[in-house]
Structure 1
Amino acid sequence: MPRSFPLPADPSAPRPVAPAALPGPARRRGLLAAGTVALLLATGCAAPPSGDAHAGPGEPAGTPAAPAPSAGSAGTPSPTATAEAAALRGAVEVLPGDGALEHNPVEPVLVHAGPEPLSGVVLRPAAGGAPVAGELAEGGSRWTSTEGLAFDTAYVLEWTTGTGGGTSTFSTVSAAHEVDVRLNVAEGQVYGTGQVLELRFSEPVVHREAVERAVVVEGGGGHAGAFRWYDERTVRYRPAERWDPHTEVRVRVELLGLDVGHGMIGNADVHRSFTVGAEHYAQVDNRTKTLTAWVDGEVVGTFPVTLGNPDWPSTTGKKVIMEQAPSYLFKASSLDLAPGDPHWYETFWASNVSRLTASGEFVHEALPSAQPVLGTANVSHGCIGMSPEGAEFVHDVFRPGDVVEVLHTGYPQADPDDGYGDWNIPFEHYADESWHGDW
C-alpha cells in the first residue's frame, strides 16, 4: 500500500455536520497513539554525502499548556449563565448573539426567555432546509438545540412568546477557519510492525497538547507511546516498542469542534483501523554485503547485496518501508546528474522496488551490470541492489511498515523525517524535538 499524503479539500464534497453530542471535557490519550493512495515519489537512489535531499524514484507527552479559557471557565461566564442573567433583566437572550460570526457548530444554540415564557423556537439554515432539532424546557424558560450545525452556513433563529417574538441571525465557522487532518494509514489495510503513525493538519497547530489529547489509539500490544512534532502541521506517534504482530490497531482523532489555535476549528473526526501483519525484519550488513531476512523471529533467507558507492554511501539505521511497486522508472536527472558526470546512468526501469527514504533510498533488483559484484563491492547511488530473486522476495513478502536496518556503512543515519526514521530515536527522547541523534 503506497504511503498517503495530504490532499486538498474537495470544494464539491458535502461539508461535515457536527453531531449533537459535544466532545467530552477531557480526552484520554491513547495507550498507543497514528488514505488516499499516493504515487511513488520521483526517481533516483540516495542523497549525496553533502546531505542534500533529492527526489528518488517513484498513518511521552510533556506538561500540557494551559488551554484558552472556555465557556464557563473562571472569569468567563458560560453561555447559560449569560442568557439566564439577561432573562432576569426581562429580555430574551440568544446565544450566539445576533450577527455573530464563526460560531463553532458543535456548541449548542441557546434561547432564554425573560419573564414571559417561550412558546416556540425555530432554527433553520438561512438558505432553506429542515429546522434544527431542539428542546424546550418545561415551562418555556429555555430552548437548547440538540442537533449539530453545518460548517460555513448562515442560520436564522426565530422565537415566539405569548405576546410577541423575535429573530436573529448568525453564521458558523467559515471554510477559511476549518481544519482537517490526514492519516498515513488506510482503513482495513495490513502494515508492518514498524509502521509509524503520522497526522498532517491542513492548518498550523498551536494547541499541541489539546490535539494530542484528541488522539486515541488502542490495540497493537498495549505499549506506551509518545508524540513527536516535526513541524507546525505534522505530528507522529509511535509505541515504545514496535507493534505486536498479528494484532489490530484502532485510531481515533476526535478533531470535530476542536480549536487548534488562532480560531481554527476541526471539521471532522477521523477513525481508522488497521491490522499488523507478521513480524518482518531485514538486516543489511555492509561488512558482509548481505541482507538477512527474518519472519516472526526465524531467519528465512540471506541474499548478497550491493550498497552505495564511496561517493554515494547508504545511510545507516532503522528504516521503514514506505511504499512498494513491481517496477518504477529511475532517472539520473532526479539526482541532478547530467550526461558526462561520472555518476550519471541511463534511465531504466527498476524491478521490485521498496522505498526506504523520501529522498530516494530503495531496495530493488540491481542492474545486470551490477549483478556480478553482489556481495563483494558497492556500486549503487545509495540503494540496496539485490539479485532478481532477492528483490522479488522483499517485494512480495515484506510490506509497508516493515523495518530494514542498515549497518556499518560508515555514514550517518537518514534524518528521521526523511521517511520514517523514528525508530532510531530512543523512546525516552522521542517527544523531545530538540534531541538529535546520528544524522
Structure 2
Amino acid sequence: MPLSSCPDPGSSAPPALPAPRRLFALGAVTVLLATGCAQASGTPAGEPTAAASAAARAVPSPSRPATPAPAEVTVAPTDAAVEHNPGEPVVVRADGGELTDVVLVPALGGEPVPGELSADGRTWTSTAVLAFDTPYELHWSAASGAGPTTGTSAFTTVLADHEVDARLNVVDGGVYGTGQVLEFTFSEPVANKEQVEEAVTVDGGGDRAGAFRWYSDTVVRYRPAEKWAPRSEITVSLKLLGLDVGHGMVGNHDLRRSFSTGAEHYARVDNETKTLTAWVDGEVARTFPVTLGNPDWPSTTGQKVIMEQAPQYLFQASSLDLQPGDPHWYDTFWASNVSRLTASGEFVHQALPSAMPVLGVANVSHGCVGMPPEGAKFIHDVFRPGDVVEVVGTGYPQADPDDGYGDWNIPIEHYADEEWKGNW
C-alpha cells in the first residue's frame, strides 16, 4: 500500500506488513495522522487534536501585574463618635500607603490641633488636649501605588455635664502648720477611687509615707504617717485631666499646689488644770489659764487642727440653734483673736469679760477654749492654720474626724479604713 494513501474508511483493518517495515510504517502513520489524515479521525481540518489542546493548556500563560490597592486609613475615635475623652489623642493610621496631610479642627472654628507624624509616614497623633463639649472635624489624605485617597470624619468630646473638677484646701505658696491635712473635693461622685489615689503625688515635707481616707464619694483626705517636717516644702499634684472617675465622668483639669510648713507648733489644753500650754519647736513657750465648755456643752477631746483664723469673728447663739429665752442663750458679740478648731463651732478665742474671773477655775463656755487677751492673741499671731491644738480630760468623746480635721486621732494603720471608728 502506498504510504501516501489513506485506508478506505469502509474497509477492514489494513493487511499486516512485514515486521521490519511495520515499525517504520507506524511511525509514518503517526506523522500522517497528525498532518494529513485528521479528517479520518473525526476532527475538522485545521483544528488541534485533544492531545494538542491539552498540551497547550499545560503551557503557563504570561502573569498579569496585580492592581495596586489604595491605602487603608483608620481613625480613632471613629466617625460620629460622641463623648470622646479630650485627654486621649486622636490617631490616624494608614496601611498600604503613607499619610500626606492630616488636619484636625474644631467644627465651629478655631486653630488646627497640632500633631506629629511618625517617621514612616503612616501614623499621625494629636499632641494637644482637646476642648470639652466641642465638635471636631478631621480631614486626611493618603497616597499609595493606586494613587491618592482622601477622607473626613467628625466626633464630639465629653459634654459639660460629664466634666469633673477638684478643689484642694491649701493655696499655692501658703504657709501651714505641721498638722495640715490635705483634702480634695470633687464636683461629681467618684467611683474609681483607687485610680484617683494613684493620680495623686505628694513630694517633700519629710517624704513620709501617707494614706488616703474617703469621707464621701466626693471628699478624700491625705495625711502622712507623722506630721509634716517643720520648715519644709510640699508639692501636691493631681493628674485629673482626662481621668475617668466612673459613671462616665472625666476630669477636666490637672491640679498642682506647692506650700510650706513653718515652725513646729503644738498646744495642749488640759481640763484638769484648766490651762493651755503652747510649744514652739519642742520647747514650752507660754502657759495660759482657760475656760472650757460647761457641763451642758462640754468641749470635745482629741487633736484638732486649726482650720482658719481671724482677728474678729461674729458669734451668734442662733448658730447653735438657741432661741431667746433659752438658758444657754447669749447676746451676739464679736469675739477677738479667733482660731477655729471644728466645723461645728469650737474655737480658741478671747473670753468674754464675764468669764475672765473664772479662767483657770471653772468651765463656762459653749465648748470653746476661752483665754485671756494675751493668750488668745498669742495663739492667733504665732500659731497658724494646720497647727494642732489637743484637748484632754473633759470626759467627752473626740469630735468626729470630719467635723474639722480630726484625722490625727486615727492611727495610720486604720486611716484608710472608712469603717474604723475611734473614740467619737
TM-score calculated relative to the size of structure 2: 0.81
- Which has more helix, going by share of residues? 2
Cα drift, residue 119 of structure 1: 2.1
Aligned partner of 1:337 in structure 2 is 322
Aligned partner of 1:119 in structure 2 is 100
Q: Secondary structure at the match of 1:435?
A: coil
Cα drift, residue 139 of structure 1: 5.3
Cα drift, residue 343 of structure 1: 0.4
Inter-partner Cα distance in structure 2 for 1:155 and 1:123: 7
Aligned partner of 1:165 in structure 2 is 150
Aligned partner of 1:289 in structure 2 is 274
With a CA cutoff of 8 Å and minimum separation of 6, indicate the structure with the bigger relative contact order: 1
Aligned partner of 1:308 in structure 2 is 293
Aligned partner of 1:199 in structure 2 is 184
Alignment of 1:180 onto 2:161: no
Cα drift, residue 112 of structure 1: 2.0
Inter-partner Cα distance in structure 2 for 1:355 and 1:221: 27
Aligned partner of 1:346 in structure 2 is 331
Letter in 1 for 2:312: S
Aligned partner of 1:277 in structure 2 is 262
Letter in 1 for 2:292: L
Q: Relative to structure 2, which stretch is displaced further, 403-412 or 98-107? A: 98-107
Alignment of 1:408 onto 2:393: yes
Aligned partner of 2:238 in structure 1 is 253
Inter-partner Cα distance in structure 1 for 2:295 and 2:130: 61
Cα drift, residue 134 of structure 1: 1.9
Alignment of 1:399 onto 2:384: yes
CA distance 1:280–1:96, change in 2 (3 Å): same
Aligned partner of 1:102 in structure 2 is 83
Letter in 2 for 1:311: D
Inter-partner Cα distance in structure 2 for 1:195 and 1:138: 50
Q: Relative to structure 2, which stretch is displaced further, 97-106 or 362-371? A: 97-106
Q: Relative to structure 2, which stretch is displaced further, 103-112 or 418-427? A: 103-112
TM-score calculated relative to the size of structure 1: 0.78
Match for 1:362 among 347, 352, 370?
A: 347
Inter-partner Cα distance in structure 2 for 1:164 and 1:227: 53
Q: Relative to structure 2, which stretch is displaced further, 399-408 or 142-151? A: 142-151
Inter-partner Cα distance in structure 2 for 1:280 and 1:229: 27
Q: Secondary structure at the match of 1:231?
A: coil
Cα drift, residue 123 of structure 1: 0.7
Aligned partner of 2:366 in structure 1 is 381
Inter-partner Cα distance in structure 2 for 1:295 and 1:176: 49
Aligned partner of 1:424 in structure 2 is 409
Inter-partner Cα distance in structure 2 for 1:92 and 1:177: 31
Letter in 2 for 1:146: T
Q: Secondary structure at the match of 2:173?
A: coil
Contact 1:89 / 1:114 at 8 angstroms: preserved in 2? no
Q: Over aligned residues, Cα RMSD in angstroms?
A: 1.4
Aligned partner of 2:51 in structure 1 is none
Inter-partner Cα distance in structure 2 for 1:425 and 1:359: 19
Inter-partner Cα distance in structure 2 for 1:139 and 1:377: 83
Contact 2:105 / 2:112 at 8 angstroms: preserved in 1? yes
Aligned partner of 1:321 in structure 2 is 306
Letter in 1 for 2:295: P
Aligned partner of 1:69 in structure 2 is none
Contact 2:71 / 2:98 at 8 angstroms: preserved in 1? no
CA distance 1:223–1:141, change in 2 (3 Å): closer
Letter in 2 for 1:190: V
Q: Relative to structure 2, which stretch is displaced further, 279-288 or 258-267? A: 258-267
Paired residues for 1:26-37 under 5 Å = none
Q: Secondary structure at the match of 1:163?
A: strand
Q: Secondary structure at the match of 1:250?
A: strand
Match for 1:152 among 125, 133, 153?
A: 133
Which structure is larger by alpha-carbon Rg, 1 or 2?
A: 2
Aligned partner of 1:266 in structure 2 is 251
Spell out, residue by residue over 1:1-34, the C-alpha distance to the aligned partner (whole angstroms, 9 max, x if none). xxxxxxxxxxxxxxxxxxxxxxxxxxxxxxxxxx
Cα drift, residue 147 of structure 1: 2.4
Inter-partner Cα distance in structure 1 for 2:384 and 2:230: 13
Contact 2:70 / 2:149 at 8 angstroms: preserved in 1? no
- Aligned residue pairs, count: 352
- Structure 2: segments with no counterpart, 5+ residues: 1-68
Cα drift, residue 144 of structure 1: 2.0
Spell out, residue by residue over 1:89-129, the C-alpha distance to the aligned partner (whole angstroms, 9 max, x if none). 96422110111111111212122225343321111111111
Inter-partner Cα distance in structure 2 for 1:138 and 1:220: 44
Inter-partner Cα distance in structure 1 for 2:74 and 2:136: 16
Aligned partner of 2:203 in structure 1 is 218
- Structure 1: segments with no counterpart, 5+ residues: 1-87
Give 4+ residue runs of structure 1 displaced > 4 Å after superposition: none
Contact 1:305 / 1:374 at 8 angstroms: preserved in 2? yes
Inter-partner Cα distance in structure 1 for 2:305 and 2:79: 54
Spell out, residue by residue over 1:317-370, the C-alpha distance to the aligned partner (whole angstroms, 9 max, x if none). 000000000001111111111111110001111000000000000000010001
Inter-partner Cα distance in structure 1 for 2:415 and 2:119: 54
Inter-partner Cα distance in structure 2 for 1:139 and 1:194: 55
Inter-partner Cα distance in structure 1 for 2:120 and 2:409: 64
Identity of aligned residues (%): 72
Spell out, residue by residue over 1:191-223, the C-alpha distance to the aligned partner (whole angstroms, 9 max, x if none). 001000000111111111111111110111121
